[in-house]
Chain A
Amino acid sequence: MSANRVRVVVTGLGATTPVGGDVTSTWTALLAGQSGVEALTTDWIDTVPVKFAGTAAVDPTEVLPRPEARRLDRSEQFAMVAAREAWQDAGSPEVPPERLGVVVSSGIGGINTTLTAYDTYRERGWNRLSPFTVPMLMPNGPAAWIGLDLGAQAGVHATVSACASGAEAIGHAMDMIRVGRADVVVAGGTEAAIHGLNIAAFAAARAMSTRNDDPAGASRPWDRGRDGFVLGEGAGIVVLESEEHARARGARIYAYCSGVGYSADAHHITQPEPDGRGIIMAMTQALTDAGVTGHDVKHVNAHATSTPAGDVGEVQAVAKAIGTHPLVTSTKSMTGHLLGGAGGIESVFTIKALQERIVPATINIDDLDDGIEVDVVHGKNRTLPDGDVAAVNNSFGFGGHNVTVVFKGA
C-alpha cells in the first residue's frame, strides 16, 4: 500500500435482523445471547423437513409506507429500512450525487416475488401481474431502490456471490472510494428467502439443520452436535466514506474499513476446500491490503454457519492466516444465516464490537468440537483491548467465493 492511499471510514450503520428491527435492538439482543430462531407456522411447512427459521423481528411492512412496501420485494424492503437507518445514523451527509454510490447485494434476489408472480401468471394470467414485478425480482433491485432514494449517481452496483455477497459489496464499496469514483458509498447485503422452495432446495443439498424440536438451539456453530445452518432474513448496511470527506463534515467515525481480500476455492461448487487454501488466501490478502499483521487482529466474526464441514475448517484457517489469539464468534448462532445479508449484518456487528470493545458470545455451544485452537467466545461475552485493534469479518459462499473484510478501531 502506498502511504497516501485514500483511507475509508465507517460513519453509519443500519440493520434489521431476526433479533431486532434496528442496530441498537439487534446489538442489545446479541449481547444478551438471544436467539431469533423460531418455529414457522406457514401453510407450506408440512412440505419441508425444516420447520423453523430466523424471521425478521420487525416486519418491514410495519415500518415502510404501504404504497412503497407494495412495490418492493421483501429483500428490497429490508434493504430500504436498513439503508435509511444507516444514512440517518451517518448524519445524512451532504454529498454531490455524482460522488455518491451504492453497492448492496443479495444472494438470491427477489425470490418471493419470482415465485408468487409465477403463481399469479399461471393461475390468473399475465395481466394480473404488478407492473413492478421485474424490479421486484431483479437482484440489483435493492441497490437500485436505495440509489433512487438517495439520488446516488456515482454508480449503483450489486455484487452476487451467494453467501459472500454482502461482504463483497462492502469490499467493492471501499474500492470505489479508494480509486476516487465516490466520496460516500452505501453498502451491504440483504436477503428474504424464507420460502418453502428455498428451504426444500437447501435441505436437498443436506445443508440445513433439522433440529425441529429445538429451533433456538439449532444454530450451534462449533458445537459437536451441529447439523446444518439455519435460515435467517434481514439486511445490514454501512455508510462508507473517505476519511477526508468524513473529517471535513465532522462526522462521527465508528471505525476504519481498511482492507479486503477475495479468493475463489476452485475446488467444488458447494463443499469447502478441506485445507482452507482459499479462505487462508482471502484472509492473508485482506490483512496485507489493510496494512495489519495477524497480531493486530483481535477479533474475528466468523462465517461459521453451523455446518459439520465448514465451521472447524474455517477456524483452522484463521489459526494459520491470523493466529490462535483472536476472539472468534459466530453471531449466526443467534441470527441464523442471512445468506447474502450475512456479510452486511456481520460487518455491522464487527464494527460494533470494535466500537464498544466487546465480543458477543456464540450461543448453543454445549460441547466444543475437536480441532479448534482459536479462542471461540462462548459462555459469556468478552472484552477487546483498548488501543489500535483490528477485526475481521469472514463471508464465504456457494461457488467457492471467499471474502474477508478488515476493520480497524477509530
Chain B
Amino acid sequence: MAATEQDILEGLGKIINEITGIPASEVTPEKSFVDDLDIDSLSMVEIAVAAQDEFGVEIPDDQLKNLKTVKDVLTFIQN
C-alpha cells in the first residue's frame, strides 16, 4: 500500500508542474520551494490541497509552514 519515495516524488512533480508550470524534472528532493523553485505561499496551499487528494494525507497549516523542501514533503507524506 505504502507508496515509495520515488512514486511520491513523481506524483509531487506532476502536481507542482500542473500548478506552477515548473518542469517535473526540476522537482528534486534537495530543492527549496521558496528559494529554488520560487513558489509562493498561496501556491504552496494549492500544492498541499492537491497533495492531500493525491496521497490521502492531511497537511495542517501549522505543519505546512515547516515543509521547506521537497524532501520535507516526501518525508511528511511517508510518515
Contacts and interface: CB of A to CB of B under 8 A. Distances in A.
A65 B46 contact: no
Interface stretch (B5-13, B14-22, B27-35): B14-22
A130 B21 CA distance: 17
Interface in A127-171: 127-132
Given A127-B49, A128-B49, A67 B42 contact: no
A132 B52 CA distance: 17
B57 interface: no
Contacts of A268: none
Nearest to B58: A127
Contact of B19 (A67, A127, A129): A67
B46 A130 contact: yes
A67 B49 contact: no
B21 A131 contact: no
Given A127-B49, A130-B49, A131-B45, A70 B19 contact: yes
B21 A66 contact: yes
B53 interface: yes
A70 B42 CA distance: 13
Contacts of A131: 42, 45-46
Nearest to B41: A131
Given A131-B42, A132-B42, A70 B49 contact: no
Interface residues of B, number: 10
Contacts of A127: 49, 52
Contacts of B49: 127-130
Contacts, number: 22
A66 B18 contact: yes
Contacts of B18: 66-67, 70
Contacts of A130: 46, 49
Interface residues of A, number: 10
Contacts of A132: 42, 46
B45 A128 contact: no
A70 B46 CA distance: 10
B14 to A, nearest CB: 12
A67 B21 CA distance: 6
A131 B61 CA distance: 13
B39 to A, nearest CB: 11
Contacts of A66: 18, 21
Interface in A46-97: 65-67, 70
A358 B71 CA distance: 63
A92 to B, nearest CB: 23
A153 to B, nearest CB: 21
B19 A128 contact: no
A70 B53 CA distance: 16
A127 B45 CA distance: 9
Contacts of B21: 65-67
Nearest to A128: B49
Contacts of B42: 131-132
Contacts of A70: 18-19
B3 to A, nearest CB: 21
Contacts of A65: 21
22 contacts: A65-B21, A66-B18, A66-B21, A67-B18, A67-B19, A67-B20, A67-B21, A70-B18, A70-B19, A127-B49, A127-B52, A128-B49, A128-B52, A128-B53, A129-B49, A130-B46, A130-B49, A131-B42, A131-B45, A131-B46, A132-B42, A132-B46
Given A66-B18, A131-B42, A132-B46, 18 more contacts: A65-B21, A66-B21, A67-B18, A67-B19, A67-B20, A67-B21, A70-B18, A70-B19, A127-B49, A127-B52, A128-B49, A128-B52, A128-B53, A129-B49, A130-B46, A130-B49, A131-B46, A132-B42
5 closest cross-chain pairs (CB), A and B: A67-B21, A131-B45, A131-B42, A67-B20, A128-B49
Interface of B: 18-21, 42, 45-46, 49, 52-53
